[in-house]
A and B are shown apart, each in its own frame.
Chain A
Amino acid sequence: MAQKTIAGVNLEVTEDGYLEDSTQWNEEIAKEIAKEEGIELTDKHFEVINFIRENADAGLTIRKVGKSGIVDIKGFYELFPGGPLKIASKIAGIKKPTSCV
């Protein structure tokens, strides 16, 4: 566990940079984590991020995001290139996903 200041807030993060406490999350924090991942967040990104936050405890998979009606799987990969479920979860301030699909 480590301390990290993101968007002016002192946060506990895991070794991989996931927030320990998702209730500390806000949109400014999301934008800053996204910037580290090389992503400029748009409204579409936030729609996906909100879906991910709402379903954080439901065993998220890429397939579920693809069926969310917000974005298809191809679009999800385009929004968060290089590992969409992991990167989107990190930006959404939830735990690292444990799904294999």
Chain B
Amino acid sequence: MAEKKDTQVKKVAIICAKASLEDVYASLVLANGAVMEGMEAKIFFTFFGLDAITKKHMKKLHTASVGNPGMRMPGGLPFPTLLGALPGVEAGVSAMMRKQMDDIDVPPVDEFLDMITAGGGEIYACKLAVDMFKLKKEDLSDHVIDIITIGDFYAMAGGEGSQIIFT
């Protein structure tokens, strides 16, 4: 049998297009995990994903309490959709999620970005989405290196052992 030879992953280029707490955290955990392993990591935030790097919104990301089949009551029973629709429920659920993550040492979004960039990870914002939401560079986290096109992002995503990941 031929010996199996894997090419090691050396670089991840991650695209985050959604603003829900869990989607943003997926991108951040992937990026942070990469730099922790000594790999290169770049994240491209686009469309609603921009919330994660917009100063005004990044500390208040929500997880959906309606239409989210993974959502359960404490104790494991299904979370009633009508309950999830009540005012304040989604904010409460999201606050609880953030607290639970902090308990296992997963930091808030802004601190997570500090960690990723401290390890050499790079943060970019999508030009198309920035234009669409009428944002300016100063509206975005100071960790954002630049506002670039998807073409620019692809141009820096190449090389042996590099992977593009969409969350």
Contact = CB atoms under 8 A, between A and B. Distances in A.
B115 A63 contact: yes
Given A61-B105, A64-B105, A73 B33 contact: no
A63 B120 contact: no
B118 A77 contact: yes
Contacts, number: 47
B115 to A, nearest CB: 5
A86 B97 CA distance: 28
A72 B29 contact: no
Q: Is the interface of A mostly helix, strand, loop or mixed?
A: helix
A84 interface: yes
A100 B38 contact: no
Contacts of A77: 35, 118-120
B37 A86 contact: yes
Contact of A101 (B29, B37, B114, B120): B29
Contacts of A98: none
Contacts of A66: 115, 118
Nearest to B107: A63
Nearest to A74: B118
Contacts of A8: none
A5 interface: no
A64 B118 CA distance: 14
Given A73-B118, A74-B118, A83 B105 contact: no
B34 to A, nearest CB: 10
A62 B29 contact: no
Given A64-B105, A72-B118, A100 B33 contact: yes
A100 B112 CA distance: 12
Contact of B32 (A59, A64, A83, A101): A101
A63 B37 CA distance: 15
Interface string A62-80: 1110100000111011000
A86 B33 CA distance: 12
Given A66-B118, A73-B118, A77-B35, 11 more contacts: A62-B32, A62-B115, A63-B105, A63-B111, A64-B105, A66-B115, A73-B114, A77-B119, A100-B29, A101-B106, A101-B115
